[in-house]
A and B are shown apart, each in its own frame.
Chain A
Amino acid sequence: MSLHAHLVVERPAFRLDVEFHAAAGEVVAVLGPNGAGKTTALRALAGLVPLSGGHIELDGAQVHHLPPERRGIGVVFQDYLLFPHLSALDNVAFGPRCRGLGKAEARRVAAELLDRVGLADHAHVRPGRLSGGQAQRVALARALAVRPRLLLLDEPLAALDAHTRLEIRAELRRHLAGFDGAAVLVTHDPLDAMVLAHRLVVVENGSVVQTGTPGEVARHPRTDYVARLVGLNLYRGEADGNRVTVGDVVFSSAERLTGPAFVAFPPSAVALYRSRPDGSPRNLWRAVIDGIERHGDNVRVHLRGPITLAADVTPSAAADLDLTPGREVWAAVKATETHAYPA
């Protein structure tokens, strides 16, 4: 039940060209900003958008020339698309019925699945009367009812409110763990991707810019978009031993490298001073405050200068520093929290 996909979709002002794979039992998250082509990729996998090139291979068999109804791919759509004229039970039984099961047998299968997602007592309710979380669970049950080889989920949690989201995310993780086929999840929410997926495929402007486990991607972002998602400052520079030069700033890092390299550090690793601090001159430079905003319990300071960066300081530190836009400060980054890796 493995997926190998190379998807090429050409549109007048857009080209999607992504390649990725998913093993049986693996959950792959396609992560990217709006308009990156994530949903197009998912629709291409499902057969709802024709490929301009490439291929889709499921268990070693090419399926990209098959119409959607013959691909054996289950889809959970973003706004679920439960048939409004059918009860929850008949929505779930729809797939099995199409696969040739009798009405009673299809309903038995559907009832079992509804029970598994905890909605046995809502079997005869129409979708219009289900809550968002319940509709999401019915949609998942409906997609699983056809015993798909590949399960696709398009922004499965985007339509839910914050509280329901937390609950459904944990539940979805459990259901995905119990699914033996490959699963591809499309999302713009890094938290959904990190919690639900074994592997991330980051897509920007129609191309894959980074792949890896959530841990790898979070530690070693390779684009500004990913760095922002995982909350790191990211720069590209030239490494020489323990030093990485980014423009006019020289960083010390724990890793030894040579050649093009990335440097990443969290905003909390940045310290700000009104006057030049004593001690190590490395990882230190003058910066100008661009803007200030609340960020959790801290204050996030946006700075420009030789490099732009975000720094998190405590509210009391912010008060002591008298942070106002336009003010000049000294910025320093702890070498122990600065990571360098090859670009």
Chain B
Amino acid sequence: MTGPARGRGPRARLPWPLLVPAVAGLAFLVLPPAGLLVRAPWRTLPQRLAEPRVLEALRLSLVTATIATAVCLLLGVPLAWLLARTTLPGRRLLRALITVPLVLPPVVGGVALLLVLGRRGLVGQWLYDAFGVSLPFTTAGVVCAEAFVAMPFLVIAVEGALRAADQRYEEAAATLGASRWTVFRRVTLPMVAPGVLAGAVLCWARALGEFGATITFAGNFPGRTQTMPLAVYLALETDPDAAIVLSLALLAVSVIVLAALRDRWVGTA
């Protein structure tokens, strides 16, 4: 009706072979979370959320996801740099290996972690003998499982940002006397910061929702390794309403964090 405002004019009708699947797809994505909101026991919500079990799981989830993201940043950003900025032989193979955890079923990832980091594992046995450290079924194990599953997201996002960044700025910095480390710290990193942040958010969200590897490698001990997704799954069998409440809390946390970060950095960058 508002002719001039609609760019393509009155003949720009949407073709139904695109429109119908698009609407169906939208419904498919939006309806389940909406159903969560509809079926939520809103009246008892406050006291259910205040239950120590829920608060404990929520706190554990937030803490482990954040630590896992920090670990991923610390290890993943240099790894992404290595892939994007050096002519290391076998880089392609390396990149393929890195994406394996991305497509691996998380449960399999958990089994693999047990085999390597378990008390009798390849590295785990040495860790236990030398330092008395045992990762499985501990909070540190949760962090391990989450980082294992989430790190590829970060590496791929940061590598993409590094490749897209104009390397001539790094050359300019070199002619000014900057070593490669200084170039990375003072030029590369600030210039790809939006990409690193986006990768970190993705990584954090993935870590927060991690289930399969966590339950396999770290078990399901309330207060120690029982994160929100685990609590949701457990609650679903005994108390469906509690599962809905926990799910809502997880949904809210994810949405709030993503929205806040988007507005502050990702969106404007």
Contacts and interface: CB of A to CB of B under 8 A. Distances in A.
Interface stretch (B118-126, B177-185, B251-259): B177-185
Contacts of A235: none
A59 B177 CA distance: 19
Contacts of B179: 69, 98
**Prevailing SS type, chain B contact patch:** helix
B178 A94 contact: yes
Most A CB atoms within 10 A — which of B166, B171, B177, B190? B177
B168 to A, nearest CB: 5
Nearest to B166: A81
B194 to A, nearest CB: 11
A256 B108 CA distance: 92
Contacts of B248: none
B178 A98 contact: yes
A84 interface: yes
A145 B176 CA distance: 9
B177 A81 contact: no
Contact of A48 (B174, B178, B186): B174
A68 B171 contact: yes
Interface residues of B, number: 18
Contacts of B178: 69, 94, 98
23 contacts: A47-B174, A47-B175, A68-B171, A68-B174, A69-B175, A69-B179, A71-B175, A74-B175, A77-B168, A77-B172, A81-B166, A83-B187, A83-B190, A83-B191, A85-B193, A94-B186, A95-B176, A98-B177, A98-B178, A98-B179, A142-B176, A143-B176, A146-B176
Given A48-B171, A83-B191, 7 more contacts: A73-B175, A74-B175, A75-B172, A81-B171, A81-B172, A85-B190, A143-B176
Interface of A: 46-48, 67-71, 73-75, 77, 81, 83-85, 94-95, 98-99, 142-143, 145-146
Interface of B: 166, 168-169, 171-179, 182, 186-187, 190-191, 193
